[in-house]
Each structure stands twice: as structure tokens, then as C-alpha cells.
A and B are shown apart, each in its own frame.
Chain A
């Protein structure tokens, strides 16, 4: 089984041999096709539904989101909150950053640098 890591909201292409599935894939709620760029998956649940179709053809998509604080990749499936989280986000916080004692101050510093860079 081939595994393809993708990020929510970022376009990706499925292999040409899976072209027959195009119609079924674009019908999934939360999946869009942008001409010239490829497919965009909006959330975790759209990804699950997409995998139900693609797995039949030997391909699995693995979702990742980025940590807004340190930039690390986070795999929702491996998160300790996977059962209770609504997984609607495209940016989250990794375990190391979330559990550090001064996490809020660090978050605020990161946010400050983001907004200062873009003029706040």
C-alpha cells in the first residue's frame, strides 16, 4: 500500500492510474478539485472518506497538520486526543509545546512575531 502524506488545504495530485475515480472523489463533502493544481482536502473526515475510495486502488492518504508554535508535523491519528477531537483544524499544537509549563507565554510570543512581521 502506497502512503501519501498530505496537508489540509494544500493541493495534491493522485496518480494518473486512478483517474477513473475522479468523479467519485470530487463528490465527497470537503474535497475540491482545482484545475491545474489538483485535489484539496478540507478536513479529517473528508480524508477518511477519500481513503475509503483510494484504498481500493492501493493508495492511502495520511493527514498531517503543523504545530503553530514550533512547526513540527503532527499526525492526527497518533494524537492522544484522536477520539475526542473534532479535527477541524489545519494548524494545531504538538505534544511537546502543549505540555510545556509556559505554553501560553510561548504561544503568545510566536503569535506576536507572526503579527509583528505582518504589521500589527
Chain B
């Protein structure tokens, strides 16, 4: 049995981390009838315990979870048909299970729904929740304040956050003890570091190590950071060699970092004008270099870029440039919200990327779309996603 399934929490007390969010969710489900909001929307990155919390709380309180995925409720008709006999009554499953349990409706991946594209699915979800027959929980990785405005207004919104490496370590310790594994503490520490706050990934990594994979083969935790995380780390760093290390590990984001720092330097409320002017000279020099690389293939500039960029970041941080969390442009792979697509993507990534010996960026931009196109029957969801994002690869 898969370890993520085997060690799925049976009770809320077995879920590590996100204490405040869990408590809010618990309170909502406990007294949903008296609550002024008709449902609860939980959101946060993958592997932080959103679904596990819903199932664990339901188990603690004697609810029977009826789960629907975004693909099940594209249209209002589909939703009502699926839930016929559930809302307002008890489920057949509950009767067959021998215990008369109350149903709890759980709509997963609601960020995959778009009221402009779907035919009333999201509205049906809000409508069912407003009838207050049973507690309704919706889950998402990201919420869009515009797209999901109606949902946010009528639902209580609870954010789940990434776990810290120490919280992950506690989760891993449980499995190590139960399975009687002989794994060094250093290896566990590395898994905790490399899982980036995702407990599911950490458990899968532990399983890989248990099956004989080398932990060193798993990528460095500083490499391939999402742009928002990289920018946050850079803005909090006061050591220039650490800044250079972060930049050298993430060359795919140099241009974005430069644009964001340009913005932060210009808008800093505390930076002296002479310092601002000095920094802008180097920003424009670097912009010219990056432009030359792109337009003329002047790759000899590459070796200077991390040095100059790290100096800009270091001095801008010291002199009061403030990064306010904005990102210059969306990175496609950061925003895959559908679980099926994500799982297929992880499968392709694990099988293929290591064997191709090419950069992550090249893999995502060229190899992955081509491979998925050729294997569209095996990866149908990912193929549809690639078609939509890249406009079709033949």
C-alpha cells in the first residue's frame, strides 16, 4: 500500500501543522448550522493537509464524506444529478456501511472551475451550500478573487500554509518508527529540506530512499525555486555570497529578478536618491547585457550576470528596496491547479527528466510538450493542459 494512503490521518490530532487553519475548519464543521457563512473554502499549496483535514474531521465527528472533483461539476445539471438524494437526506453508502452517518459534501479542486467557462457548476455549489442541508467544504490550491468572488463572499475562507521542515520531520519520524526503517537522521533532514513544505512529496521521497534511491540524486533545495519564493528569499538575504548562490541556482529567473528589483528600487520609500541612481545604472547595464544575449547570442556576458545581479540585490536590500510580493509574469507550471494534471506531470517529470540530461527550463518548454503530445493517450489530462497553454504541439 502507498505510504501516503497508509499513513493518511484518521483523526484531526494526527495532522501535523496548520494548527490555526485546522481549528477554524473544525469549528466551522462543528457548528456549521449556526455559522453565518453557508460553506467553507480551504485553500493552500499541495501536500499541506487540506483534504486530509476534511476527512479526519469528518471521521472525528461522524460525517460521511461525499467527494466531488471539479471535473464532476462542470454544469449545474451534473452537480444536482450527482447529489440527487444526498442533499436533504442520508446517503445509501452510509446505510450500507451499517451506521447512519450524516453526509458532508466536499468539492475538491474548485480553482479548476471558471464561472465564465462552466455552465453553472460553481453556482450550483453555492446554491447547495445555501440550502444548509449538510456541511459543504470546497478546496483549492489558489483562489482567484475575481473568478471566485461569489464563492468567497458566501463561504468562510481558510488558508493552509506550507509546512516547515521540522513539521515534515515529525511526519517522517512516525513512518520511520512504524515501518522500523533504518534511515540516518541526516537523510531525514535532507528529505525534510527538499520537500519544500509538501508532506506528500516528503513521504514519497522517504519511500524512494527506502527502496534504494540516493538522496543526493534528488535536486538541490535551492535549485528551480518558483519565482515568488526566490524573490522572497532574495529580499530577506543580507549575505552577498548567499544571494549569489541563490541566483546561480536559478538562472531561469534572472530577468524576472532584475525587473522586480527595478520596480522595488524605484518605489522604495526610504532609499536615498544618490543610491537609487547608482543602482539604476547597474540595472540598465544588466538589462543591456540580457538583451544582447537574447538578440545577438552574446553568451560571454553570462558569467558577469550573477555577480552584478547579486550586487544589485545585496545593495538594494541594504539601502531599503522593499519587495512587496508582486511577480512580473506568471510561470505556467506554478499554476497547475488540477490534481490529475499535476500527477501526470509529476509522473512524466520523474520518468523522463533525469534521463534527458537537459535543463529544467528546456525540459518544460520543449521536451515535455512534445513527449506529452506523442503520448496523449497515456497522459490525456496533461495533454489537454499543454494544448491549452502552448497552443497545441504536433
* Chain A residues packing against B (C-beta within 8 Å): 23-24, 27-30, 44-45, 48-49, 52-53, 56, 68, 79-81, 83-95, 97-99, 101-105, 107-108, 111-112, 115, 118-120
A56 contacts B320, C-beta separation under 8 Å: yes
A80 to B163, CA, bound (A): 15
The reply to whether A83 and B222 contact each other, CB–CB distance below 8 Å, is: yes
Complexed CA–CA distance, A56 and B321 (Å): 13
Contacting residue for A48 out of B14, B174, B236, CB 8 A: B236
Decide: B322 and A93 in contact? CB cutoff 8 A.
no
Residues B229 and A86 in contact, CB atoms below 8 Å apart: yes
Instruction: Determine the distance from Cα of A112 to Cα of B23 in the docked complex, in whole angstroms.
Output: 12
Residues of B whose CB lies within 8 Å of any CB of A are 12-14, 16-17, 19-20, 23, 26, 30, 60, 161-167, 169-171, 173-174, 177, 185, 189, 192-194, 196-197, 221-222, 229, 232-233, 235-236, 242, 269-270, 317, 320-325
Residues on A with beta carbons closer than 8 Å to the beta carbon of B270: 24, 52-53, 56
Assess the B185–A28 pair: CB atoms within 8 A.
Answer: no
Please give, as numbers and ranges, the residues of chain A lying within 8 Å of B30 by CB-CB distance.
Answer: 119
B193 contact set on A, CB distance < 8 A = 81, 84
Most chain B beta carbons < 10 A, residue from A28, A104, A115: A104
The smallest beta-carbon distance between B147 and chain A, in angstroms, is: 22
- The number of inter-chain residue pairs (CB within 8 angstroms) is 120
Check A103/B173 contact, CB under 8 A, given A52-B320, A53-B269: yes
Residues of B within 8 A of A119 (CB): 30
Q: Nearest CB to that of B324 among chain A residues?
A: A29
Check if B164 sits within 8 Å of A111, measured CB to CB.
Answer: no
Query: Assuming the A-B contacts A45-B232, A53-B270, A111-B13, are A85 and B164 also in contact, with contact meaning beta carbons closer than 8 angstroms in the complex?
Result: yes
Of chain A, the residue at the smallest CB distance from B221 is A84
For the complex, give the distance between the alpha carbons of A38 and B88 in Å: 47
The interface residues of chain A lying within 8 Å CB-to-CB of B23 are 118
Tell me the nearest residue of chain A to B194, going by C-beta: A84
Contact present for B269 and A115 (CB under 8 Å): no
Min C-beta distance of B264 to chain A, whole Å: 10
The answer to whether B165 touches A88 (Cβ under 8 A) is no
Contact A27 B13 (CB under 8 A): no
Is the beta-carbon distance between A112 and B13 smaller than 8 angstroms? Answer: yes
The distance from the CB of B57 to the nearest CB of chain A, in whole angstroms, is: 9
Closest approach, in angstroms, between the C-beta of A4 and any C-beta of chain B?
A: 18
For B26, list chain A residues within 8 Å (CB).
115, 120
* Cα of A87 to Cα of B321 in the assembled complex, Å: 20
User: Given the complex, which residues of A lie within 8 Å of B165, measured CB to CB?
Assistant: 81, 84-85
Q: Are B185 and A99 in contact (CB under 8 A)?
A: yes
A81 to B197, CA, bound (A): 11
A44: nearest chain-B partner, CB-CB: B236
| A97–B124 alpha-carbon span in the complex (Å) | 46
Given contacts A53-B270, A101-B177, A104-B173, contact A81 B229 (CB under 8 A): no
